[in-house]
Amino acid sequence: MKSYDITVLPGDGIGPEVMDVALSVLDLVGHKFNIKFNCKEELFGGCSIDKYGIPLTEETINNCKNADSILLGAVGGPKWEEQPHNKKPEQGLLKLRKSLGLYANLRPAKIYSPLLNASSLKPDVIRKADVMVVRELTSGIYFGEPRGIDKNKGWNTLSYTREEVEQISHTAFKLARKRNNRVTSVHKSNVLESSQFWKDVVESIHKEYSDVYLNEMYVDNAAMQLVKDPKQFDVILTQNLFGDILSDITAMITGSLGMLPSASLGSKHSLYEPVHGSAPEIAGNNKSNPLAMVASVAMMLEYSFNLPQASAMIYAAINEVLELGYRTLDISTKDTNLVSTSVMQNLILEKCADKSDTIIEMVRMSYEG
Ligand code: IPM
Ligand code: MG
C-alpha cells in the first residue's frame, strides 16, 4: 500500500475545525484509493506562541521538511496582535514559506455554478470565469531588507532577483499550457524599477513558451479588470504583495473567501492552505465554511500525489452539495439551506462515499497498473 507522511498545522481560530473536516475527507480518500496518509499534528501560529513563545519552532520546521506534504489551517487572532512585530503569528507563516522555499503560490478562483448568486458580482460577470493567480511567495516587499520601524519612520524594501522572477515565470507558463494558454504579467513598471525588471525578465522567459499568449497589465488596471470582466484572465503572474491583494479580489468570483484553496510549491516541499484567515469572531461556533480547506486537500492530491481522480471526486462532491442548496453562513442566500460546519462535513463525506465503487476501483487500478 502506498503511504504518505503529512504534517498537519491546524493553527488558530477556525483553523482546527476546518482541518478536522479536511482530514476526515482525506481519510475517506485513503480508504477508497488504498493509500495510507500518516498525519502528524504540530503547533503553529498563536497556539505555538502560547506554548513556546514563538509562532514557529525548529521542530515544526523540521517535521514539515521531513513530510511528503503539509496541510495548514489558518493562523492569527486578536489575542496575539500586541506581540512585537517579529513574533506575530503571521511572521511564523512567512518564515515557514521561506524556510521551505515555497516560492510559487497558486490560487485558483473558479465559480461553482450553484454559487452564481452568492457573489457580490453579477452572475453574468462571473459565469465561466476561471482565474489562476500565480503569486511569487518568498521574496518582494514581504522579505526585502532593509526594513524597520522607529518613532518617525517605517520602511520596507522591494526588490527581485533575476533567478526569482525566472523561476516563478516558468511555473506560470507551464501552468498556462495545461489551462487556457494565457498569462497576464501584472506589475507597475510605469513607476517601479523592480517592476520594469520583472516585466523584462518575464518577457525573456516567454521566448521559451512562444505557444503561450502573454500580455502585460498594470496592477491598478488589473484590480479594475478583475471585477469588470474576470473572464479575460487565465493565469495572472505577479509579485508577492500584488498577488496577496489581487487574490482576495478573485475570491469574490467564487462567492466567498471561504471557497478559495491554495497551493504553495517549492522545488522540494509543498503546502496547502485555504486563502481565508482564522476568523476568530466565528471560531468554535460550528459556523465556518470548511470547503476551502477541503478543496486544498483536493489540490494536494492533484499536485503532490498525482491523484487527479481523487481530487476530481472531492470537487464533484462539493458541487453536488452546493447543487442541493446547502450553504454555510458565508455563502448562504435566501432560498438555500443554511447548515453548520459539521453538517457540511457529513454532506461532503456522504457524497464522496457515494461515488461508485466500480469507478473508484478502475481509477485505483489505473494508478497501480
Ligand atoms: C495570505 C495572507 C498572508 C499574506 C498573511 C496572513 C501573512 O494574507 O496568505 O494571503 O499576506 O501572505
Ligand atoms: Mg492575503
Q: What would the pLDDT profile of 62-79 be if each residue is shown by its tens digit?
A: 999 999 999 999 999 999
How does DSSP classify residue 111? -
pLDDT in tens, 245-277: 999 999 999 888 899 999 999 999 999 999 999
The full set of domain ranges for the chain reads: 1-103+267-369, 119-254
Which pLDDT value is given to residue 122? 94
Supply φ then ψ for residue 205, to 5 degrees: -70, -30
Q: Is the pLDDT of residue 365 over 60?
A: no
Q: Which residues are catalytic?
A: 142, 188, 220, 244, 248
Q: What is the CATH number of domain 119-254?
A: 3.40.718.10
Whether pTM > 0.85 for this model: the answer is yes
Q: Is 165 in the pocket of ligand 1 (CB under 6 A)?
A: no
Question: If you measure from the C-alpha of residue 354 to the centroid of ligand 2, how many angstroms do you get, rounded to a whole number?
Answer: 35
pLDDT at 366 over 60: no
93 lines ligand 1 (CB under 6 A): yes
Contacts for 240 with CB less than 8 Å, ≥ 6 apart = 135, 136, 137, 138, 139, 140, 141, 142, 143
Q: Is 244 in the pocket of ligand 1 (CB under 6 A)?
A: yes
For residue 90, give the ligand 1 atom closest to its CA: 7
The set of cell numbers assigned to 93 is 507563516
How is residue 261 annotated by DSSP? E
Name the residue of 90, 103, 133, 135 to mutate for ligand 1: max ligand atoms within 8 A of Cβ.
90
At residue 91 the predicted structure's pLDDT band, cuts being 50, 70 and 90, is: very high
| 168-190 residue pLDDT tens | 999 999 999 999 999 999 999 99
Which ligand does the CA of 93 lie closest to? Answer: 1
Instruction: Please indicate whether residue 320, judged by its CB atom, sits closer than 6 Å to ligand 1.
Output: no
For residue 278, the CA-to-ligand 1 centroid distance in Å is 11
- Nearest-CA residue for ligand 1 atom 11 is 244
For ligand 1, atom 10, name the residue with the nearest CA. Answer: 244
Lowest mean pLDDT among 55-59, 80-84, 260-264, 359-363: 359-363
Long-range contacts (CB closer than 8 Å, 24 or more residues apart) made by 188-191: 188/218, 188/219, 188/220, 188/242, 189/216, 189/218, 190/218
Strands (E) across 96-244 are located at 104-110, 130-136, 144-149, 154-157, 182-187, 213-218, 235-238
CA nearest 256: which of 340, 329, 341?
Answer: 329
240 Cα–ligand 1 center, Å: 10
pLDDT by residue (tens digit) across 297-330?
A: 999 999 999 999 999 999 999 999 999 999 999 9
d(CA 286, CA 18): 10
Alpha-carbon distances of 146 from 91, 151, 164, rounded to whole Å: 16, 16, 18
Instruction: Read off the pLDDT band of 359 (50, 70, 90).
Output: low
- All 3 cell numbers of residue 198? 520583472
CA separation for the pair 87, 100 (Å, rounded): 19
d(CA 41, CA 10): 8
In this predicted structure, the answer to whether residue 369 has a pLDDT above a threshold of 50 is no
**Element housing 351 (H / E):** helix 341-354
- Do the domains 1-103+267-369 and 119-254 sit in the same CATH topology, yes or no? yes
State residue 361's pLDDT score: 54
What mean pLDDT do residues 279-301 have? 97
CATH topology of domain 1-103+267-369: Isopropylmalate Dehydrogenase (3.40.718)
